[in-house]
């Protein structure tokens, strides 16, 4: 495939069909400073009206496929947004999880080294044990589940790579997919309450929920500034899942009485969760100018995105 000529630097996004990938492309719709290559394991599931990028199928476990795409597109910057993130599925399907979260990163690193690409790698609060959150960038990881183990191993691979890199750690990302597909924690709460279901929500896990648009903005600030190192990019408000569910119900005027408060001992899950995580984001605010929206503001934008996806 011939390379599209452009004076703009080339930005390649993995996981472009996913929530973060879509929000990155959404923020680059107008006057993008980049020539954009969107990639995914299968075909494009992005809105047909979006035509400001080139889409390439690229299975990250297939190192030959990565080398081929990188050799043809020669990305200056790579935002690695793809991963296997369902925590219980990672616990139950550890080989697949390792392939998607570790082997894929090994393959990407080799390709980035060959093309001198700046790698922005997405990571998670689940690399921590949840005993002393919210966490600073300098905190010592100690994952309590297999998903967290693979993401911490991937971080170490990136940190030891012979290339310029940044690691973006984030927490419980919410937003709406532009193609109307199944969303995430907040959209699940909304649809469940609309269906009249009763929800049991834990009140002893603490997070700093992150609006997907804010996460995308943080990644693009890192790309713009070629800011190397580790950055916490999340929301600022510490909330429990119960808090988030109540706030969601109130925004959409759904029945709060259908949300029952419980503690985590009442749940049986395949993977252990850290209790108190969340991030201190002062470094990103000071060094990048990062400014996240409040949880209520994020839900408001999510509501508009849901309407847009359905129209």
Look at residue 6 in the predicted model and tell me its pLDDT.
Answer: 75
Q: Cα-atom radius of gyration of the chain, to the nearest Å?
A: 19
User: Quick check: 220 and 187 in contact, CB under 8 A?
Assistant: no
Look at residue 63 in the predicted model and tell me its pLDDT.
Answer: 97
Pairing of strands 210-211, 54-57: unpaired
User: Digits of tens for pLDDT over the chain (311 positions)?
Assistant: 445 557 899 999 999 999 999 999 999 998 899 999 999 999 999 999 999 999 999 999 999 999 999 999 999 999 999 999 999 999 999 999 999 999 999 999 999 999 999 999 999 999 999 999 999 999 999 999 999 999 999 999 999 999 999 999 999 999 988 876 666 889 999 999 999 999 999 999 999 999 999 999 999 999 999 999 999 999 999 999 999 999 999 999 999 999 999 999 988 899 999 999 999 999 999 999 999 999 999 999 999 988 877 76
Q: Give every CB contact of residue 238 below 8 A, 6+ residues apart in sequence.
A: 134, 206, 207, 208, 278
- Return d(Cα 255, Cα 248) in angstroms, integer: 10
- Return d(Cα 238, Cα 232) in angstroms, integer: 14
Helix (H) / strand (E) containing 169:
strand 165-170
Look at residue 1 in the predicted model and tell me its pLDDT.
Answer: 46
- Return d(Cα 256, Cα 115) in angstroms, integer: 53
* Backbone φ and ψ of 78, nearest 5°: -125, 125
Look at residue 178 in the predicted model and tell me its pLDDT.
Answer: 82
User: Quick check: 215 and 20 in contact, CB under 8 A?
Assistant: yes
Look at residue 203 in the predicted model and tell me its pLDDT.
Answer: 96
> Does 10-177+210-236+277-293 carry CATH code 3.40.50.720?
yes
Q: Indicate whether this model's pTM tops 0.85.
A: yes
């Amino acid at each position: 495939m011939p390379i599209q000529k452009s004076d703009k630097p080339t930005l390649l996004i993995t996981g472009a069909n996913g929530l973060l990938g879509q929000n990155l492309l959404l923020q680059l719709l107008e006057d993008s400073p980049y020539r954009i290559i969107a990639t995914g394991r299968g075909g494009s599931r992005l809105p047909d009206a979006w035509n400001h990028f080139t889409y390439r199928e690229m299975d990250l476990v297939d190192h030959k496929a990565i080398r081929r795409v990188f050799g043809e597109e020669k990305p200056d910057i790579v935002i690695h947004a793809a991963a296997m993130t369902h925590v219980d599925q990672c616990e139950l399907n550890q080989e697949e999880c390792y392939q998607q979260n570790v082997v894929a990163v090994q393959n990407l690193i080799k390709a980035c080294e060959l093309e001198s690409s700046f790698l922005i790698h997405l990571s998670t609060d689940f690399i921590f044990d949840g005993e002393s959150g919210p966490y600073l960038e300098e905190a010592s990881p100690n994952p309590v589940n297999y998903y967290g183990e693979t993401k911490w191993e991937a971080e170490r691979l990136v940190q030891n790579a012979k290339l310029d890199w940044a690691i973006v750690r984030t927490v419980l990302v919410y937003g709406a997919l532009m193609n109307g597909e199944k969303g995430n924690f907040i959209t699940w709460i909304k649809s469940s309450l609309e269906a009249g279901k009763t929800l049991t929500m834990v009140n002893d896990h603490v997070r700093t929920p992150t609006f997907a648009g804010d996460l995308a903005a943080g990644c693009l600030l890192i790309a713009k500034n070629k800011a190397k190192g580790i950055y916490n990019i999340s929301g600022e408000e510490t909330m429990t899942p119960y808090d988030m569910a109540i706030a969601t119900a109130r925004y959409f005027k759904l029945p709060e009485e259908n949300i029952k408060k419980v503690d985590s001992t009442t749940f049986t899950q395949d993977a252990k969760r850290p209790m108190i995580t969340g991030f201190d984001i002062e470094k990103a605010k000071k060094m990048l100018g990062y400014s996240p929206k409040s949880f209520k503001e994020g839900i408001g934008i999510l509501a508009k995105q849901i309407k847009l996806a359905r129209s």
